């Protein structure tokens, strides 16, 4: 069976995602599609709008055959680590190809850029360090260094968020020595960070989330921008998640920790622990806190990831133990269609690590971080819903979907 991979967050699954999925299928003609999907917290350091289980349902209803979790240790990282983790999982699952959305829309441009980066790696990294010393954030320094190093070359625009991820996906395939064939589909209409809802039926996930909260979580306002199956899932959700829901707990964690304790958390570096406490004392909301905290050196996204690690109690030592491993020790299965189940049976003998469906009987440092993330994610819920939600993390088997009957079984 031919397998296509996609790397997703589906926060939530919208019409743009459906377009990408359909075009990816047209391009590669797979028998099954496997999605590596972030769990409860996302790459930009945000809690997911709805849980990974609800987003798994959206994925299966809209044409994905297998959903596996991108562990917290990789899902809440900068683009390079995020991409390497996701591509590694797709390689473990023996996919033949994967397809990502990009502003560039041409895979040859990515291949050429990755090749040129390898040829000019030393001057590029020297230039990055130069711009960092001038007080720029790492993403800004990388962008300036890239423009300087490749100013006369025909390369992709690495100021665009999906191009950045795409570059690291293609680079990860090369560095891992993976036989996976990468493809890309050009994004349409709405940009990744676009906060506007346009007359067309395509809007970014950012715009959809923003509109949900601005309209007091009234989901009918976004109905035109999501597929019908997504809308049916959203109608059953009792609560959506956003950073403001976690502000009180974050405030407690930051103000009740000593600077020494804050320094143990992942990404808390260079004395920013003092600024964290100073800004938190003055702020009344998460948005106000972040606005005070933001500096030229630290991007909003990096600061949100830092806050996520403080919220989930993730230390530098814990993250190091997981991310320094050369190989995964497991893949966590969240959901599958009948075709997906058939594919997993077919490749079972070729996979060197377990595909786990019962986390209660499995122990791993990476899985321990996922469990902590779920506990933190559940905080805004009231009892008994919170206890049930945490219990689900340990007891929920993979969601099974019968694509012929169009129902969960």
- Positions at the binding site for ATP: 7-20, 101, 162, 187
Residues 68, 334: Cα–Cα separation, whole Å: 5
Cα 200 to Cα 218: distance, rounded to the nearest angstrom: 20
Of 311, 314, 293, nearest to 253 by C-alpha is 311
> What distance in Å separates the CA atoms of residue 182 and residue 199, rounded to the nearest whole number?
32
Strand 399-402 and strand 97-102: pairing?
A: unpaired
Tell the residue number behind the tokens 């050196």, with chain if given: 297
Contact between 25 and 4 under an 8 Å Cβ cutoff? The reply is yes
Between CA 367 and CA 402 the distance in angstroms is: 28
Backbone angles phi, psi at 37, to 5 degrees: -120, 135
Task: Specify the 3-state DSSP secondary structure of 194.
Answer: coil
Q: What is the rounded distance in angstroms from the CA atom of residue 174 to the CA atom of residue 83? A: 12
List, in sequence order, every residue forming a beta bridge with 315; answer none if it has no partner: 265
Nearest residue to 32 (alpha-carbon basis) of 407, 401, 408: 401
336 closest CA partner among 34, 98, 78, 65: 65
> Are the C-beta atoms of residues 74 and 85 closer than 8 Å to each other?
yes
How many degrees, rounded to 5, is the angle at CA 322 between CA 267 and CA 40?
70
- The answer to whether 393 and 374 have CB atoms below 8 angstroms apart is yes
Instruction: Mark the binding-site residues, compressed into ranges.
Output: 7-20, 101, 162, 187
Question: Residues in the chain, how many?
Answer: 409
Widest CA span in the chain: 61
In this structure, how many other beta carbons lie within 10 angstroms of the beta carbon of residue 248? 12
């Amino acid at each position: 069976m031919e397998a296509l991979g996609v790397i997703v967050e589906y926060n939530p699954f919208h019409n743009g995602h459906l377009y990408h999925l359909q075009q990816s299928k047209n391009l590669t003609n797979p028998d099954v599609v496997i999605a590596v999907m972030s769990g409860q917290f996302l790459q930009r350091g945000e809690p997911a709008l709805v849980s990974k289980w609800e987003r798994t349902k959206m994925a299966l209803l809209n044409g994905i055959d297998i959903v596996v979790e991108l562990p917290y240790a990789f899902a809440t990282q900068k683009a390079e680590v995020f991409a390497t983790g996701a591509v590694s999982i797709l390689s473990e699952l023996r996919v033949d190809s994967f397809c990502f959305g990009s502003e560039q829309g041409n895979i040859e441009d990515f291949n050429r850029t990755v090749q040129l980066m390898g040829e000019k790696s030393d001057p590029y990294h020297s230039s990055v360090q130069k711009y960092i010393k001038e007080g720029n954030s790492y993403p800004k320094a990388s962008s300036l260094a890239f423009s300087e190093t490749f100013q006369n070359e025909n390369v992709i625009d690495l100021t665009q968020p999906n191009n950045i991820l795409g570059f690291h996906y293609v680079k990860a395939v090369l560095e891992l020595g993976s036989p996976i064939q990468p493809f890309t589909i050009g994004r349409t209409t709405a940009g990744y960070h676009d906060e506007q809802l346009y007359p067309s039926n395509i809007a970014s996930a950012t715009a959809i989330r923003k509109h949900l909260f601005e309209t007091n979580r009234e989901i009918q306002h976004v109905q035109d921008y999501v597929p019908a199956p997504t809308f049916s899932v959203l109608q059953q959700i009792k609560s959506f998640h956003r950073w403001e829901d976690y502000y009180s707990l974050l405030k407690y964690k930051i103000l009740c920790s000593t600077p020494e304790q804050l320094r143990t958390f992942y990404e808390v570096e260079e004395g920013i622990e003092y600024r964290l406490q100073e800004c938190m004392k003055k702020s009344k909301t998460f948005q106000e806190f972040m606005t005070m905290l933001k500096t030229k050196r630290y991007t909003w996204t990096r600061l949100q990831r830092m806050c996520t690690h403080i919220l989930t109690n993730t230390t530098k030592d814990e993250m190091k133990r997981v991310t320094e491993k050369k190989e995964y020790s497991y893949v966590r299965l969240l959901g599958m269609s009948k075709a997906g189940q058939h594919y997993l049976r077919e490749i079972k003998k070729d996979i060197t690590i377990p595909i786990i469906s019962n986390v209660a009987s499995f122990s791993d440092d990476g899985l321990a971080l996922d469990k902590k993330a779920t506990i933190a994610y559940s905080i805004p819920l009231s009892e008994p819903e919170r206890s049930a939600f945490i219990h689900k993390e340990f007891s929920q088997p993979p969601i099974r979907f019968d694509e012929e009957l169009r129902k969960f079984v």
